[in-house]
Amino acid sequence: MDHWFVGILLPRRVRFMAKSQLFRRPLLDVVILHAGAFPVRRGHRDEEAIRTATTILERGGLIVMYPEGGRSRSGQIGRRARPGIGRLALEAGVAVVPVAVVGSERARNWRRLRFPAVTVRYGPPILPGRETDASRERHQEVADEVLAAIRALHDGA
């Protein structure tokens, strides 16, 4: 539910990447498409998802991404960022706003009528600039900077 918590108070529509397996489930695929998701093949170099994301960003859209390559069920921030978020930021020339969501791992208990406190903290934008020919190492540098900012927000919550 992290993507929902991140976008609920924003005045603009938020789009997000969702693992491609979710789009193979009847009815769920319709729901997540209408919620603003588009598929990404995790663990692969998914150029189609990168093109979709870049197009959304270049048109002024917002994308929620998990720099670790997926959300955390434990509530802990991942140890390593994946380079994709850095690549998108550099190729589209957009700012990245680091966001920490704290407490959402307990939100699954809503069926037991337990509604935990969830804190969402937004950090200052990271502006890497536009670098269309950046190396994978540069993508990783930006991704690491984003993850470090998220970790600092999370630890401060």
Cβ contacts of residue 36 below 8 Å, gap of 6+? 13, 14, 15, 16
Mean pLDDT, the chain cut into blocks of 10 residues (157 residues total) = 76 87 82 84 85 93 85 72 93 94 72 75 95 95 96 89
Q: What is the pLDDT of residue 123?
A: 95
pTM score of the predicted model: 0.85
> 3-class SS at 126?
strand
pLDDT value for 95: 95
Work out the number of other CB atoms within 10 angstroms of the CB of residue 84.
22
Cα–Cα distance measured from residue 124 to residue 150, given in angstroms and rounded to the nearest whole number: 10
**Residue-level pLDDT at 21:** 84
Res 143: pLDDT: 96
Token duo for residue 60: 């002024």
CATH numbers and ranges of domains, the chain: 2-156 (3.40.1130.10)
Distance CA 58, CA 88 (A): 10
Q: What are phi and psi of 87, to 5 degrees?
A: -60, -50
Name the phi and psi angles at 75, rounded to 5.
Answer: 90, 0
Supply the pLDDT for residue 91.
93
User: Is the distance from CB of 81 to CB of 65 less than 8 angstroms?
Assistant: no
